Amino acid sequence: MSGGIKAGLVGLGKIARDQHLPAMEKVEGIKLAAVASRNAQAEGVNNYPGLDAMLAGEPDLDAVILCQPPQVRYEAARQALLAGKHVFLEKPPGATVSEVEALIALAERQGVTLYASWHSRYAAAVAHAGQWLATRTIRHISIQWREDVRHWHPGQPWIWEAGGFGVFDPGINALSILTEIVSDPLALLSAKLEVPANKQAPIGAELRMATASGASVDAVFDWRQTGPQTWDIAVETDDGQLLLSEGGNMLRLDGEVQVQAPDEEYPSMYRRFVTLVANHAIDADVAPLRLVADAFLCGEHCPTTAFED
């Protein structure tokens, strides 16, 4: 790998074009060599109709980046790991917890990297928030993750299908930040899931959680918010209040802005991936996915009116 990691990407859709391609251009130590897509072609690389053809046509690929929806990622990840490739998974790392655990075991057996990426953990203010909380006692956490699904997810039928997560697709980003900045284990206590009559996945959810030390944590995820969008996590402690907003890119402590910076999440994740691959290391935290799975396990189903997207 003297010229850096030679990577192949699968699923040339919104996130691949918006973030993965520009991030790989920007980061040293990794180069996109090939793309596997059923419908699209990328410029300046070799294009294949699917992962089989890409693996056969590019025997010296080091890594495979999987950017498809979660429902189809497990088989692709298995195939890439069995071919001895390092694997970078978009979030959520699987449609189920057991899939991800199987992939971790397979990556261990193969001696290759498995990276379950959580982009929101790399938002500009998240690390600072975690450091500030580490020396304080948390009393209560309130999460408000409200956005307009028609704006952010047009033409994505998979997101409303089983295994597509519905409003937990953005909501799991909040949970990835929560599980990063709170060192105490979190228990999911109860949930309410609002599922439109014509969909398989929720459009709204309310979660009640608690830290092992007893602090209460409430979360509201809603896909029906038009106008200004809200991605906030507010924390009350024994020594001040913290507000993470803009999806983790802005931090206020007792009302005073401490950090406000543009989003550099994907380049940071690729730097992390380059380091992991150099060490054949695994980074695959299932904590956010486990909370979502628990919400689906115990959640009260509240049918709501059909939603046309």
| Residue 8 Cα distances to 5, 35, 66, angstroms | 10, 5, 9
Pick 166 or 204: Cβ nearer ligand NAP: 166
Backbone CA torsion sign across 231, 70, 123, 234? positive
Cross-strand bridge partners of residue 241 = 236
Kindly state the smallest distance separating residue 200's Cβ from ligand NAP, in Å.
14
How far apart CA 276 and CA 243 sit, in angstroms, is 31
74 conformational bin, left if phi > 0, alpha if psi -120 to 50, beta if neither: alpha
Kindly state the smallest distance separating residue 302's Cβ from ligand NAP, in Å.
24
Pick 86 or 91: Cβ nearer ligand NAP: 91
Kindly state the smallest distance separating residue 131's Cβ from ligand NAP, in Å.
25
Pick 46 or 258: Cβ nearer ligand NAP: 46
**Interaction mask 150-189, ligand NAP, x per CB under 6 A:** ------x-x----------x--------------------
Helices (H), 239-286: 265-278
DSSP 158: G
259 binds ligand NAP (CB under 6 A): no
Q: CB under 6 A: which stretch of 12-20, 186-194, 220-228, 229-237 binds ligand NAP?
A: 12-20
How far apart CA 233 and CA 252 sit, in angstroms, is 11
User: For residues 182 and 133, is the Cβ–Cβ distance under 8 A?
Assistant: yes
Joined tokens for residue 40: 């699209």
Q: CB under 6 A: which stretch of 67-75, 130-138, 203-211, 249-257 binds ligand NAP?
A: 67-75
- # residues contacting ligand NAP (CB under 6 A): 21
Kindly state the smallest distance separating residue 255's Cβ from ligand NAP, in Å.
30
37 binds ligand NAP (CB under 6 A): yes
Pick 158 or 273: Cβ nearer ligand NAP: 158
CA torsion angle for 16, 21, 24, 25 (degrees, to 10)? -170
Pick 132 or 160: Cβ nearer ligand NAP: 160
12 binds ligand NAP (CB under 6 A): yes
Window 109-138: residues binding ligand NAP (CB under 6 A): 119
Pick 11 or 204: Cβ nearer ligand NAP: 11
Cross-strand bridge partners of residue 35 = 9, 47
Considering just the CA atoms, what is the radius of gyration of the chain in Å? 19
Length of the chain: 309
How far apart CA 50 and CA 53 sit, in angstroms, is 6
265 binds ligand NAP (CB under 6 A): no
Is 85 catalytic? The answer is no
Other C-beta atoms within 10 Å of 247: how many? 25
Backbone CA torsion sign across 135, 120, 194, 189? negative
68 binds ligand NAP (CB under 6 A): yes
241 burial (CB, 10 Å; 0-12 / 13-18 / 19+) is middle
Catalytic residue selected from 31, 91, 192, 199: 91
69 binds ligand NAP (CB under 6 A): yes
Enumerate binding residues for ligand NAP (CB under 6 A): 11-16, 37-40, 67-70, 72, 90-91, 119, 156, 158, 169
Q: Catalytic site residues?
A: 91
